[in-house]
Structure formats: C-alpha cells, structure tokens
Amino acid sequence: MSESDEILAIPLWLNGHAYLTMPPAFFDVRDARSGQIRRRTPLCGAREAQAAVDAACDALQSWATLTVEARARLLTRLAEALSGYADHFAGLIGEETGKDGAAAGAEVTAAVHVLRAVATAGAGTGGNGVVAVVSDQLAPLLGPLQLATPALLGGATIVLKPSPQAPSAAFALAELTARAGFPGGVVNLLHGDLAAVEGLCSAPAVSMVRFAGDRELGTRVAAIATRHGKPFLD
C-alpha cells in the first residue's frame, strides 16, 4: 500500500450523512505551511452532483413549509454550535489556506456573526428552490455561509461546492448542521472542480448558482451557469 493510499478522502455530505464516493481522480489537500498532504478531495462529476441535488430536492418541500421563525431558530443553533467549535474550525482554515491563527479565528467569528445576524433579520433572500453555492479557498467558511444563510432562512435548500484545495471547513459545517437539528438534505456538500460545477448547472432542479471568491474563477463559474440557463449571482 502506498503512502497516498493511506491518506483519507474527505466525504461528501448528502441527506444528512457522510457519503463516500470513488471518482476517477482526487486532489491532494496539502498543509499550506508545511506542504504535507493531509487529505484527498474527490473530484466529482455529474453523477455525484445529481445525487446532491436530489437530496436537496427531497428536503425542499418540508423545509420551505417551516415558518421563518423555525428556520431562524435552527440557524441560531448552528451559530452557537459553530462558536463552540471555533478553535477546531480555525485550525482547519489555517491548515488549508495558510492563514495565521488570528486571521483564521476572525473568519470563524465573522461566520458566527453572519448566522446570528441573518437569523434575526426576519426574512431570507438569496434564492429559493435548490441553490448551488460555489466557493473558492479565500474564505472557505465565511464565503459560502454569507450566501447560503439568507437562502436557507428564505426556505431554499443548498448544495455547497467548496474549493478542492480547502474543503474541510465546509464538510465540518455540514456535519454541524446535523448536530444543530437541520433535517437531512437541507444542506448538502459536493466536492470537485469545474466538472462538479458543470454537473450542478446541468441539473434541472437547481434554481440558482451563487459564487463567493476570486473574480476570475467566478467568471468561469458564471459562464457555465449561463450556458445552462441558470441565474448566477456573486
């Protein structure tokens, strides 16, 4: 067995559970400071993208029919849970992005603030139906949360697609939604690169694609969304 075979692949998160898949390729996630390979990101495509969208579709009706107040309570619970695991999340962010402890901690603090602020806003925005949230490695926790949280409050279900370079904060966040009481399928996680984005955009049930991160990558994601007739917002 080679050393690379011993490095664990990070799972997807579908329908409230970790989901292991065997795609044709993986991306080596390296410690940004030491260069050591820490984990492997599955580079998924249309099949896994459709599975994530199906999970979001299955949860949509029951989630959308909850009151705004009920959805806000769950977002508040998620904020409290995230605050309790702040050091763990900061460690993941620092390891995969190279941010120092203060910067990684500040990102977690800002993410908690976003959850709490949106939960008290009274009404959600940012899309309805199934919303795909694509993000890069610049702010792997805060970036997607800024887009997903108002959509969740408004009754949308979500498929997160983080950067393959920094996937761990998004996976840990998905796990935390289950601990906070979110129904399975409300928040789902798909891994991969632009092929995964292509898979999301080709899924008929995806109502909108949102992007957080670098403008150049955002332009490429927008082009894919436009080609498939999906509204795109960054």
Tell me: the pLDDT tens digits for 34-56?
A: 999 999 999 999 999 999 999 99
Find the CATH number of the domain harbouring 139.
3.40.605.10
- Any domain includes 117: no
- pLDDT top residue among 119 and 38: 38
> Total domain count for the chain?
1
Domain of 9? 3-28+39-66+124-233
- Any domain includes 118: no
Q: How confident is the model at residue 119 (pLDDT cuts 50, 70, 90)?
A: confident
- Any domain includes 114: no
203: Cβ contacts below 8 Å, ≥ 6 apart? 49, 50, 53, 130
The pLDDT score that the predictor gives to residue 123 is 66
- Any domain includes 186: yes
- Any domain includes 46: yes
- Any domain includes 20: yes
The whole-number average pLDDT for the span 10-19 is: 97
Asked if pLDDT for residue 102 goes beyond 90, the answer is yes
Residue whose C-alpha is closest to residue 209's, from 137, 129, 155, 140 = 129
